[in-house]
Each structure stands twice: as structure tokens, then as C-alpha cells.
Amino acid sequence: AQLVESGGGLVQTGGSLRLSCAVSGSDFRTLDMGWFRQAPGKQREFVARITSGGLIFYDASVKGRFTISRDNAVNTLYLRMSSLKPDDTAVYYCNRLPPFVNWGQGTQVTVSS
């Protein structure tokens, strides 16, 4: 499968962004999908998950601020991020759960204080 993330950028504290992840080469609607992030000097960490059936889970650090969704008609995963904090600064990735071996290039999110 190919994963292409987009939508990142530079935003001030308290701002919002919407990330997109276009998935090709696999039957997207059957996949459990997730968002992950990797901050400088840290390991990649889980952010949010949405199952093929629409069940949603969030890491405690983003619950209430981030919203994961999917559009199976266009094979795209989304992450709406609100009330952004400097600690949210990271490269954001999408992947299947469990992850495909190959990750996308990610999209950089930078939150300035």
C-alpha cells in the first residue's frame, strides 16, 4: 500500500489543522487505520485509531482536541486537530493497524508558543 500524508504546517498555540492521508494499493474500507507522530529525539507514538467499523480510540494526550475520521469513498483518513499545543509539534504519519512495513513521508506539524 501507498500512504501519502498532507495538511501539516506552522500554527500558533490554540490553532487548528486538518491532516489527510490518501491510501492506495489496498482495500481501504477493510483496514483499521491510525495516526502516529514522532517528535524530534523521540520515538514514534500512537495518536488515534479508527477501525473499519468506525470505532475510535485516542491517546489520552489528544482526547478532546483531535478528531479522527475516514471517507471510504475516497480512500482517505483525516485528523482534525484543535487547541494545538507546542507539545503537539511532530511529524505525523498514518498507517494501518497493525502497520504496513512501509511508512509514508509524514507531514510536519509545528506549533509555536
**Digit-coded pLDDT (tens) for 23-77:** 999 999 999 999 999 999 999 999 999 999 999 999 999 999 999 999 999 999 9
**Digit-coded pLDDT (tens) for 54-67:** 999 999 999 999 99
Q: Cα separation of 98 and 38, whole Å?
A: 17
Closest CA to 44 of 99, 110, 112, 113: 99
Which residues are within 8 A (CB) of 87 and not within 5 positions of it... i.e. 6 or more apart? Answer: 39, 61, 111
